[in-house]
Structure formats: structure tokens, C-alpha cells
Structure 1
Amino acid sequence: MDKMMKWVDAIRTITAPFGDPIGEIENEEVERVMVAESSVRGTFNPEAALEFHELSQVQVFAEMLRSSEEIEYIEIEVAPDFDLLLQFKGGEQERYQLWLGQPNRPSVITKFGRDDVVYKIPEHTTNRLIEILGLNT
């Protein structure tokens, strides 16, 4: 058994630079994302038009959260583009409203119910969101 574990550790060491998709699946906290078209700021649309549950898909939304930075002194007067429901492992859910930017431009997001805190999403993440939402056509 020890020999087998040493062999497994050796393979993991050799393949580590190429990524670990199994580990990514286990480590990614977001399990599912539901996207609805938004109509009014402060009102959440529960009618999901799109649903994502594959690792490559949910990673885009997880990256959206990880790459966002709080920005101060901004007030948004237009309605958001999308309402997002992110479901995490363990069943916890979080709701967000997204103002999607143009390609190569930042976007902004707020956690639903926390309109006083606005987060900027970088350009590269905006591009990935546009792609996953099928808006690049």
C-alpha cells in the first residue's frame, strides 16, 4: 500500500504543472449558476433563462467574484442587465445583480440587497462572461 501511495504522489508531482481537473472540481465552491434577465434594480427575477453547472462554466462566475474589487462613491441609476443566483456546495445560495460591460471594458456587480456596495469586475472577466452568456455573436 505504501508503494502505491508513493507512486500516486509521484504522478501528482509530475502532472501538477498541467493542472488537476479533479482537484479543481473538488475545490470549486460554486456548483450551479442561474442567470435571469433583470428588469429593476432591487427586484430579483426568479425566472432563470440560463443555467450553468459544468466546472468550466461555473468557474467563470467564481472568477467574477474572486476578481472583483470594491469601488467607492459610485451610484448606478440604470437597471442591471442580469440577476444571478449562485449555489455553493452545502446548499448556500447568494444572489447578485450584474451590469455587464462591453468587451474589453469592466463590469459592475452588487450583492442583492446590498446596493450600497458596488464591485468592479475586470475587463478579462467581462470578456469571459460575455462569452459564457453567448453575447459575443
Structure 2
Amino acid sequence: MDKWIRWAGEIRKITMAYKIDTEELEREEMEHVMVAESTERGIVNPEVKLEFHELSRVRVFAEMLRSSEEIEGIEIEVAPDFDLMLHYKGGEQECYQLWLGQPNRPSAITKLERTDVIWKLPEHTTNRLIDILGVNYSPLICFAN
């Protein structure tokens, strides 16, 4: 038993740097997300199809923003797949349009008031968004590696 306790203590020391602060996760600023099927670039469709209020689901969209990387020299010709209305504590709201990529491929977002700037989302973010949105089709956007 004593040997096991020492072993557990050593594992705790090694993994301490990777410890997730659960209180920090509970302090997520985003409160809820509304999703609509996009009808046109630059305009938010008011017909909301999905709403997410649970922290575990809202966190997917917060991580979407944190994992995004601004890209230059790309123009997307097709209409976005989804309109995202992100609601924050304090009543603030941001609207994004999402071009959802295929599984294991990047996606793209643009902020409604900055449609000239496009952010690329990594493959793992695309996969999480596909899961949470319940998508089972292959949208048109595709980035070359």
C-alpha cells in the first residue's frame, strides 16, 4: 500500500503541469449559443434551429474561437453553412458564420462585422463541431494542405 501511495504521488507530480483548473472551466464567459442554417453571407438567419446552454456544449464553441487562426489570401465563394450567435455573460453577443469542413479537415469562420477576415479552424475543432451540430453530410469547403 505504501508503495502505491508513493507511486501515485510521483504520477501527480509529473501530471501537475497538465492539471485542468475546473473552476476556470466553470468561469467560461460564453453562456449560450444559438445556431441557424445560413442563408446568405453577411446576414444572420433569425430562424434558430439549435440552442446550447450546457457548459460542456458551449465550451465547444468557446474552444472554436480559441483554436482559430487568421488566414490571408483566401476567398470563399460558397455561402456559409451555419450562423452562430454566441451569447456572453453581461449580455454581449457576437455573430459568426461557419463553413463546416469535412471530418478531419479544417473549417472556416468569419465574424459578421468583419467578413473580410477569415479564420481557419483545425481538424479536431471541425470534428467536435460536426458531432455537436449533428451533421452527417459533406459540406463544400476544403483547404489544401
Does the TM-score normalized on the shorter chain lie above 0.5? yes
Give the match's secondary structure for 2:87. strand
Q: Which runs of 5+ in 2 are unaligned?
A: 1-15, 138-145
Q: Which runs of 5+ in 1 are unaligned?
A: 1-15
Q: Which amino acid aligns with 1:48?
A: V
Q: Superposition pairs for residues 103-114 of structure 1, below 5 Å?
A: 103-114=103-114
In structure 2, the partner of 1:131 is 131
C-alpha distance in 2 between matches for 1:128 and 1:39: 23
1:93 pairs with 2:101: no
C-alpha distance in 2 between matches for 1:22 and 1:110: 30
1:24 pairs with 2:25: yes
Cα deviation code 1:11-60 (max 9, x no counterpart): xxxxx76644344112x111000000001111110111000011100010
Q: Which amino acid aligns with 2:111?
A: K
Flag the 1:72–1:18 CA change in 2: closer, same or farther, 3 A.
Answer: closer
In structure 1, the partner of 2:74 is 74
1:134: how far off? 1.1
Q: Which amino acid aligns with 1:80?
A: P
In structure 2, the partner of 1:47 is 47
Of Structure 1 and Structure 2, the greater helix share is in 1
Cα deviation code 1:70-91 (max 9, x no counterpart): 0001111110000000001111
Give the match's secondary structure for 1:117. strand
The TM-score, its normalising length taken from structure 1, stands at 0.83
The TM-score, its normalising length taken from structure 2, stands at 0.78
In structure 2, the partner of 1:5 is none
In structure 2, the partner of 1:13 is none
C-alpha distance in 2 between matches for 1:22 and 1:133: 26
**What CA RMSD, in Å, does the superposition of the two structures yield over aligned residues?**
1.9
Name the count of aligned residue pairs.
123
Moved over 3 A (4+): 16-23
Cα deviation code 1:97-124 (max 9, x no counterpart): 0000000000000000211100000000
Give the match's secondary structure for 2:43. coil
In structure 2, the partner of 1:3 is none
C-alpha distance in 1 between matches for 2:60 and 2:24: 17
C-alpha distance in 1 between matches for 2:62 and 2:136: 20
Q: Percent identity?
A: 71
C-alpha distance in 2 between matches for 1:102 and 1:114: 24
